[in-house]
Structure 1
Amino acid sequence: MEKKSRPFHWAQPSRPSIPRSTSVFLTEAVPMTCDGFGSFRSGPPLHAALPAFCLLALLAGVTAAAAESGEGRHRVRELGITVGQYDPGPLNAITDVAGVTVGHTTLIRGEGPLKPGEGPVRTGVTVVIPRGDVWHNKVAAGAFVLNGTGEMTGVSWIAESGFLEYPVALTNTLNVPRVANGVISWMIRKYPEIGISDDTLTPVVAECDDGRLNDIQGRHVSEQDVMAALDNAAGGPVPEGAVGAGTGMVSYGFKGGIGTASRSLPSGEGGYTVGVLVNANHGRRSELLVTGVPVGRLYEVPPPLAQPVHPGLSEGSIIIVIATDAPLDGRQLTRLTKRAALGLARTGSTGRHGSGDFILAFSTANVIPHYPKEPTYSLTHLADTYLNPLFTATVEATEEAILNALTMATTVVGRDGHRVEAIDLDRLKTLVGRGR
């Protein structure tokens, strides 16, 4: 008899710069508390919020789940699979771009039959903050919609102005309004003159549908959850897989979610850094390519629940956020976003009719003042003829970020017992090795 699966487990990501001293990966960017009834929710940092008995129960549950899976999770490069020609940055993450921070709030609660509005809950929010005071020191930005079956709010103003002036938030489809409220509340707390003597704002919130695993009608991500993710956003290594907005996502018939990667150009090509973060919830099993190898077709046939519940209606989505320290303007950053679509295609996606594929890019190189004191101000601008290395870096980092989302995700059991398996890393290595 098959063992009853736990809803999730946290596996310590393997990073060259981080000792793997424990099977539990909890950071202050993913604050969680335990209510004593098997429910996990955002809150204060774990060490401050949990009584000893609750912490022990959490550790025991995580350890048991990890033992049941029988494997740790690794990033694709750690599996010996190299994507592209350029080297990654030190963290191989969007946070390799100086000043960029990322935060998650992960909500996992309940199991069993779906009770609309109550649970089970497998969802969350992920935020990307371009710099510390992005309201007063705006960043150049551009956006591109590859396929518009979905939503990324705020892109009209980005297209009109050419800049970004607040954090970017990722969540599930029906939670967009509440997450937008959370961003607005956080911004008003930080800048209390907004809407009084200062400008108003139209926050950037991008969504994917996690309804295969999550009680999406419940809209369980609250304003407080969003503000916690923003308050705890940090640089350094970025948790990946089934965390934050990626908790309930499915990609290529496997468990998907958050992934990140970066590229560092050599000094002869500018020495710039490009970082990418994705929320991967797209693609069908048969489409998956890994460095050109048709892994999806070589893998076994997926269970029905790993595919769209209603073919043609729910075909997933992907959100791609690009950061760079290259001095690009909004027009050039829009060109960069279109190259990210090529990285997406290199993993097998064809931008299906029902997929919402939204891409946003920003540059931290220049500061666009909130209210310029003078009629003109100076910006450094990279000539278009020097863009090619950045285009290539964007393609490569996007491809690798998507693959990291797959290899770092863990198996999740959601509503109605729906189980979506993480890709088997040993099988992945074998298939890629055979295909070379």
Structure 2
Amino acid sequence: MQKPARIRDLGIIPGTLPTGPLNAITDVPGVRVGHTTIDNGADLHTGVTAIVPTALGGGERGVTAIVPAAAGGADQAAAPGGGRQATLPAAVAVGNGYGKLVGSTQIDELGVLETPILLTGTLSVFRVADALLTYLLDLDPAATSLNPVVGETNDGFLSDIRRRPITPDHVFHALSSASTGLPAEGCVGAGTGTAALDFKAGIGTSSRVVPGDAGAGTVGALVQSNFSGILTVLGNPIPADSVGEPGGNSCMIVVATDLPLDARQLGRVARRAVFAMGRVGSDFAPGSGDYAIAFATNSDRPPLPERDLRPVFQAAMESVEEALLNSLTMAHTITGFRGNTRHAVSHETLLRTVSTRP
């Protein structure tokens, strides 16, 4: 049994831009992440992952204002500093639309994000969306319209997906436990039962610091990886040994930044995030639902000039590439539903195959 390790800790360094302090999406100020993991050691390997912009979901962990009455917390609507902000600029990019991304059309239409972003298994999307509404309505008793955003990938190879085991309490826990620390990766939350490139995968995250004349900023990414292809690391293909198992399908990518970008610019960033899947070997299969959601936490300044976007695009692609690799190297082998097994990628094989650089 190998110990899970982040790809960078193995000595494999994707890209050239520096990372943030945690090398995670939570390096972006105003972004928190929480998980609820369901793993009964047998036929259930699933969960919920919450990406919570502080402006849209309340304060830090432990502040009662972010725990609704339905979750056992105080029935308060106001977050620290004067309440929940209405929206943040956002965009969605669709690599292939074979998925159930609740709330995407309103983001497309209005260019704004109204709620935290939740990830889960395919058939639990609608239960998660309903619980998210309950959570937010408790936070804001005056609200009459909200656009919950919930993405998914299919974890049915390792988990009994028809059971739809997610309850409101699972959703409330992921939201109310979200923190600004380093998020757990691998077989946790919405990644508990997912696989990618014929290996066990799950949740991964990474970040990059973007220099610039207008002031440095951070781009961070979090992924739920569950797609097919041949694992490729720094240009080196690493085929899986297993034969005949389904390759997995779909990928959810969330990109956050504190750089001042408008919705149109965030759409350009989100498209680059999907492109990054090709760097790690995705075959972009016809049954794969590949989506990226990008949002900005800083809308107080005018948007960056177009000429300054090149390093932002680079940061998005590098952070997504590394997040995808972390989702694999931080995962462990799981045997689940009907005895199906998905093996973790061998770190020894990675190091033997890949030419590393400092």
What's the TM-score once normalised by structure 2's chain length? 0.89
Give 2:54's aligned amino acid.
R
The DSSP-based 3-state class of the residue aligned with 1:141 is: strand
Q: 359, 368, 392: which is aligned to 2:292?
A: 359
The offset of 1:350, in angstroms, is: 2.8
> Quick one: distance in 2 between partners of 1:214 and 1:263?
34
1:172 equivalenced with 2:121 (yes/no): yes
Residue aligning to 2:249: 316
Q: Distance in 1 between matches of 2:173 and 2:95?
A: 31
Q: Is this contact kept in 1: 2:257–2:296, CA < 8 A? A: yes
Equivalents in 2 of 1:259, 1:109: separation in Å?
Answer: 22
**Partner of residue 144 from structure 1, selected from 78, 84, 93:** 93
Change in Cα spacing, 1:269 to 1:133, as seen in structure 2 (3 Å) is closer
Match of 1:85? 16
Q: 1:222 aligns with which of 157, 161, 167?
A: 167
| Equivalent residue number for residue 293 of structure 1 | 236
State whether structure 2 residue 268 is matched by structure 1 residue 332. no
Alpha-carbon shift at residue 268 of structure 1 (Å): 4.8
SS of residue matched to 1:338: helix
- Which SS does the other structure have where 1:174 is aligned? helix
Task: Report the residue type matching 2:210 in the other structure.
Answer: L
- Distance in structure 2 (CA, Å) of the matches to 1:324 and 1:302: 38
Question: What is the 5 A alignment of 1:46-195?
Answer: 69=1, 71-111=2-42, 120-133=43-56, 135-195=84-144
Amino acid at match of 1:347: V
1:427 to 333, 349, 354: 349
Q: Deviation digits for residues 233-268 of structure 1, max 9, x if unmatched?
A: 111111000000000001011001100000012355
Tell me if structure 2 keeps the 8 A contact 1:104–1:127.
yes
Where does the alignment leave 5 or more consecutive residues of structure 1 unmatched?
1-68, 112-119, 309-314, 368-378
Please state whether the residue corresponding to 2:21 is helix, strand or coil: coil
Asked if residue 412 in structure 1 is aligned to residue 321 in structure 2, the reply is: no
Aligned letter for 1:277? Answer: L
- Deviation, 1:161, is 1.2
| Letter matched to residue 233 of structure 1 | A
CA contact (8 A) 1:269 1:389 kept: no
Per the alignment, residue 384 of structure 1 pairs with 306
Closer, same or farther in 2 for the Cα pair 1:179/1:270, shift >3 Å?
same
Flag the structure with larger Rg. 1
- Aligned equivalents of 1:387, 1:137: Cα separation in 2: 26
Cα distance in 2 for partners of 1:260, 1:283 equals 19
Distance 1:269 1:360 in 2: 24
Which of 222, 228, 239 is residue 283 of structure 1 equivalent to?
228
After superposing on structure 2, the runs of 4+ consecutive aligned residues of structure 1 that deviate more than 4 Å are: none
Alpha-carbon deviation of 1:137? 4.4
For residues 420 and 271 of structure 1, the distance between their equivalents in structure 2, rounded to whole angstroms, comes to 41
Secondary structure (helix, strand or coil) at the match of 1:104 reads strand
Which structure has the higher relative contact order (CA within 8 Å, separation 6+)?
2
**Are the counterparts in 2 of residues 95 and 235 from structure 1 also a CA contact under 8 Å?**
yes
Q: 2:242 maps to what in 1?
A: 302
| Long gaps (5+) in structure 2 | 58-83
Equivalent-residue separation in structure 2 for 1:320 and 1:257 (angstroms): 12
Deviations 1:354-378 (A, max 9, x none): 10001100001116xxxxxxxxxxx
Q: By how many angstroms is 1:304 displaced?
A: 2.8
Identity, in percent, stands at 42
Aligned length: 332
Q: Distance in 2 between matches of 1:409 and 1:269?
A: 38
Match of 2:320 among 372, 386, 398: 398
Structure 1 residue 110 displacement after superposition = 4.8
TM-superposition CA deviations, 1:82-108 (whole Å, max 9, x none): 111101110000000011000100001
